[in-house]
C-alpha cells in the first residue's frame, strides 16, 4: 500500500478488520502527515503518545478479531470537546492550561467504538467565527489554493471556513481519517463546503452536548466532518445517542446511516426555497444549485418550489439569540475555576475584569457585549423576546414546508473560500457567510453540506440538504444521491505547486 492516509475512513475500517494494515502503522502515518503540514496550523495539540497507546490497544483487539465500529481509526477532535487530561482550549487564551477531568460524551462514544485520538484541532475562539481567524492560536490555512498558472508562487492563503476550520482543513489535507466538529450557526457545513469535505449537523438533541464547551446552548450541535458521505454516516452513528447528562438529548434509536446509502431516492420530494436566491449571488452558485436540482430530478425526485419568507430574519435573529446565550455561558470564565488568571489586580472584581479583558479576543467580547445588551432590562422585550418569537415562526414555516417535501436543497454558502484577512475587519460581511446555514440551527433541523463542484478558480463549492427533525436517514439517502451525481473528486493536493 502506498499511503494509508489515502484510504477513506470506511476503507480503512475494513482494511484494519481484514488485518491488511495495523492501527499502529496507520496512526504513525497520520502523525507524520500532521508533522509535515504544520504550516496549515490546523492542530493545536498533537496527542502522539496517547494516539500510539490507543492504537496498540486497538491492534490487540483486532488481532483477536474483536473491536468496535471504528477500531483503530485515527480521528481529530475539535478543541471545543473536553478530553480527559488533555489540554482543551476552545481556541481561547482564557482556557490556558485547562485539562478537563472528564471526557465529553461524544468523544467518549468514539473511544468506546475503538477510534484513536490524534489531537485537538484549531477553531475560532469559542466557535465564534466563519474563517478561523478569531482563534487565539492563529488562523488555520486551507490546504486549497486558487488555481492558475502562478498559483504556487503567488498564493493568497485561503480560509478553510470556521468555526471548525481545523477540522475541515485536517480532513481535506488527510491529517486524520475524520474529525469531530460543532455547528451553532453553520460551523460544520460552512467549512465543509469551503474545503470539499462532507459536514453533517444532525437534529438538535441527536448528539449529547455534555462536555462540549457551550457557545449557544439552544443551537449547538455536534457532528462529523468527513471525506465522503459514507465516512460521515459511520462517524455520526458512533457519535450520536441519548445521554442522561444532557437534558436536551433525545431518547430515540440511532439508525445505521450507512445502511441507507445507495437506496433509491425515487419519489422523494425536494423543496427549493425561493428566498435562498439572493440578489447578487455569484453565477457559479446559481449554476451549482441548478445542477443539484437537475441531479435530484434525474434520480427520480420530484422538485417542489417552496417559500420560506421568514428566512430574511434568520441572520438578525441568530445574531441576537446566539450572543445572548453566549454572554450567559461565558460568564463562568472569571479566573477562578479554570484557565487564565490575570497577574495584576486590586480586588476580586478587578481580578474578574482584568482576567476577562486579557483572556477574551475581540469577537468574543463583541458577542458578550451584544448578548448582555439584548438581555438587559428595557431591551429584553425589544430584542431577545422578539427574536425568540421570530425563531418560533421560522420553525413553524419549516414544519409547514415539510408537509409538502421530504428534503430541502440549497447552496451551503454564498461563495467559495475567501482569502485570510479579506473579511476580518468587517463583522457584518463575516456574518453574511451564515445566511444559508443559520436557519437549520434556529429550527433545530438536520442539515448537511456535500461537495458538488468547483468555482472558476478551482475552489470547492457545496450543496446543502436539510431534512425533517430526526430524519437523518432520508438526508443521508439524498446526500449519497447528490454525491454520486456530482462525482466530486478534486483534492487540494492537485493545486500544490
Residue with cell 505547486: 497
Residue with cell 435562498: 276
Does 129 sit near ligand GLN (CB under 6 A)?
yes
Does 142 sit near ligand GLN (CB under 6 A)?
no
CB 207 within 8 A of CB 221: yes
Closer to ligand GLN by Cβ: residue 118 or 438 = 438
**CB 188 → ligand GLN: shortest distance, Å?**
7
Does 329 sit near ligand GLN (CB under 6 A)?
no
Distance separating alpha carbons of residues 93 and 445, to the nearest angstrom: 32
Does 166 sit near ligand GLN (CB under 6 A)?
no
Distance separating alpha carbons of residues 205 and 248, to the nearest angstrom: 5
Helix (H, G, I), strand (E, B) or coil at 263: coil
Does 184 sit near ligand GLN (CB under 6 A)?
yes
Q: Which of 322, 324, 330, 486 binds ligand GLN (CB under 6 A)?
A: 322
Does 125 sit near ligand GLN (CB under 6 A)?
no
Tell me, rounded to whole angstroms, the distance of Cα 466 from its chain centroid.
Answer: 15
Strands of 175-256 (E only): list them: 178-183, 198-201, 221-226
Q: In this chain, which stretch among 102-110, 179-187, 246-254, 294-302 interacts with ligand GLN, using CB under 6 A?
A: 179-187
**CB 316 → ligand GLN: shortest distance, Å?**
13
Our CA dihedral for 477, 481, 487, 490, rounded to 10 degrees, sits at -30
What residues between 400 and 459 interact with ligand GLN by CB under 6 A? 434
Size of the site for ligand GLN (CB under 6 A): 13
**CB 261 → ligand GLN: shortest distance, Å?**
26
The strand pair at 116-121 and 43-46 is best described as antiparallel
Which residues are part of the catalytic machinery?
78, 163, 187
Q: In this chain, which stretch among 178-186, 253-261, 335-343, 418-426 interacts with ligand GLN, using CB under 6 A?
A: 178-186
Does 76 sit near ligand GLN (CB under 6 A)?
no
User: What separation in angstroms does the CA of 273 have from each of 306, 307, 442, 482, 497?
Assistant: 5, 5, 17, 18, 40
Closer to ligand GLN by Cβ: residue 185 or 339 = 185
Contacts of 349 (CB under 8 A, 6+ apart): none
Does 223 sit near ligand GLN (CB under 6 A)?
no
CB 56 within 8 A of CB 25: no
CB atoms within 10 A of CB 274: 11
Residue 95: half-sphere exposure toward Cβ, Cα within 13 Å: 23
Distance separating alpha carbons of residues 315 and 470, to the nearest angstrom: 24
Give the residue nearest to ligand GLN (CB): 187
- Angle (CA) 206-208-211 rounded to 5° is 160
Does 127 sit near ligand GLN (CB under 6 A)?
yes
Closer to ligand GLN by Cβ: residue 26 or 163 = 163
- Angle (CA) 494-228-224 rounded to 5° is 115
* 460 bridge partner residues: 454
Does 130 sit near ligand GLN (CB under 6 A)?
yes
Does 228 sit near ligand GLN (CB under 6 A)?
no
Q: In this chain, which stretch among 21-29, 63-71, 85-93, 126-134 interacts with ligand GLN, using CB under 6 A?
A: 126-134
Helix (H, G, I), strand (E, B) or coil at 255: coil
Q: In this chain, which stretch among 128-136, 262-270, 300-308, 343-351 interacts with ligand GLN, using CB under 6 A?
A: 128-136
Does 168 sit near ligand GLN (CB under 6 A)?
no
Closer to ligand GLN by Cβ: residue 354 or 415 = 415
C-alpha cell at 98: 485547562
CB atoms within 10 A of CB 470: 18
**CB 51 → ligand GLN: shortest distance, Å?**
26
**CB 130 → ligand GLN: shortest distance, Å?**
4
Closer to ligand GLN by Cβ: residue 159 or 184 = 184
Does 40 sit near ligand GLN (CB under 6 A)?
no
Q: In this chain, which stretch among 26-34, 185-193, 298-306, 443-451 interacts with ligand GLN, using CB under 6 A?
A: 185-193
What phi and psi values does residue 217 have, to the nearest 5 degrees? -60, -30
Distance separating alpha carbons of residues 74 and 178, to the nearest angstrom: 8
Q: In this chain, which stretch among 127-135, 205-213, 264-272, 454-462 interacts with ligand GLN, using CB under 6 A?
A: 127-135
Q: Which of 92, 187, 203, 327 binds ligand GLN (CB under 6 A)?
A: 187
CB 368 within 8 A of CB 323: yes
Does 183 sit near ligand GLN (CB under 6 A)?
yes
**CB 52 → ligand GLN: shortest distance, Å?**
31
Task: Name the DSSP letter for residue 128.
Answer: -
Positions that interact with ligand GLN (CB under 6 A):
127-130, 163, 183-187, 215, 322, 434
Amino acid at each position: 500500500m502506498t499511503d494509508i492516509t489515502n484510504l477513506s475512513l470506511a476503507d480503512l475500517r475494513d482494511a484494519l478488520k481484514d488485518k491488511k494494515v495495523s492501527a499502529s502503522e496507520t496512526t504513525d502515518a497520520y502523525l507524520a502527515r500532521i508533522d509535515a503540514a504544520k504550516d496549515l496550523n490546523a492542530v493545536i495539540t498533537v496527542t502522539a503518545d496517547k494516539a500510539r497507546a490507543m492504537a496498540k490497544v486497538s491492534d490487540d483487539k483486532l488481532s483477536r478479531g474483536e473491536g468496535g465500529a471504528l477500531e483503530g481509526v485515527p480521528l481529530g477532535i475539535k478543541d471545543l470537546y473536553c478530553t480527559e487530561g488533555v489540554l482543551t482550549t476552545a481556541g481561547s487564551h482564557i482556557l490556558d492550561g485547562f485539562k478537563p477531568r472528564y471526557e465529553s460524551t461524544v468523544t467518549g462514544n468514539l473511544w468506546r467504538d475503538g477510534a484513536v485520538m490524534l489531537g485537538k484541532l484549531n477553531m475560532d475562539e469559542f466557535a465564534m467565527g466563519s474563517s478561523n481567524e478569531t482563534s487565539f492560536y492563529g488562523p488555520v490555512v486551507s490546504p486549497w489554493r486558487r488555481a492558475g498558472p502562478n498559483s504556487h508562487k503567488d498564493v493568497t492563503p485561503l480560509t478553510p471556513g470556521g468555526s471548525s476550520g481545523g477540522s475541515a482543513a485536517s480532513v481535506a489535507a488527510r491529517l486524520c481519517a475524520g474529525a469531530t466538529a460543532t455547528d451553532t450557526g453553520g460551523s460544520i457545513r460552512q467549512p465543509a463546503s469551503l474545503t470539499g469535505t462532507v459536514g453533517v449537523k444532525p437534529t438538535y438533541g441527536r448528539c449529547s452536548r455534555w462536555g462540549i464547551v457551550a457557545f449557544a446552548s439552544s443551537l449547538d450541535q455536534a457532528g462529523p466532518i468527513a471525506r465522503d458521505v459514507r465516512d460521515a454516516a459511520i462517524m455520526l452513528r458512533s457519535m450520536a445517542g441519548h445521554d442522561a447528562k444532557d437534558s436536551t438529548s433525545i431518547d430515540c434509536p440511532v439508525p445505521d446511516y450507512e445502511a441507507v446509502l445507495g437506496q433509491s431516492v425515487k419519489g422523494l420530494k425536494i423543496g427549493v426555497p425561493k428566498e435562498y436566491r439572493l440578489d447578487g449571488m455569484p453565477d457559479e452558485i446559481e449554476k451549482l444549485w441548478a445542477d443539484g436540482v437537475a441531479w435530484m430530478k434525474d434520480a427520480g425526485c420530484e422538485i417542489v418550489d417552496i417559500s420560506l419568507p421568514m428566512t430574511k430574519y434568520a441572520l438578525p435573529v441568530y445574531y441576537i439569540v446566539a450572543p445572548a446565550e453566549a454572554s450567559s455561558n461565558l460568564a463562568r470564565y472569571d479566573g477562578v475555576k479554570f484557565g487564565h488568571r490575570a497577574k495584576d489586580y486590586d480586588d476580586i472584581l478587578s481580578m474578574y475584569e482584568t482576567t476577562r479583558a486579557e483572556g477574551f479576543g475581540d469577537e468574543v467580547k463583541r458577542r458578550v457585549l451584544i448578548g448582555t445588551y439584548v438581555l438587559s432590562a428595557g431591551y429584553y422585550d425589544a430584542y431577545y423576546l422578539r427574536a425568540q418569537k421570530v425563531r418560533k415562526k421560522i420553525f413553524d414555516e419549516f414544519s409547514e414546508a415539510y408537509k409538502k417535501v421530504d428534503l430541502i436543497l440549497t447552496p451551503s454558502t454564498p461563495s467559495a473560500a475567501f482569502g485570510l484577512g479579506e473579511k476580518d475587519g468587517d463583522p457584518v460581511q463575516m456574518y453574511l457567510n451564515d445566511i444559508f446555514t443559520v436557519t437549520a440551527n434556529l429550527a433545530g433541523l438536520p442539515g448537511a453540506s456535500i461537495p458538488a463542484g468547483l468555482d472558476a478558480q478551482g475552489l470547492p463549492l457545496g450543496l446543502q440538504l436539510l431534512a425533517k427533525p430526526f430524519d437523518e436517514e432520508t438526508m443521508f439517502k439524498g446526500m449519497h444521491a447528490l454525491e454520486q451525481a456530482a462525482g466530486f473528486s478534486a483534492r487540494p493536493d492537485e493545486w500544490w505547486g
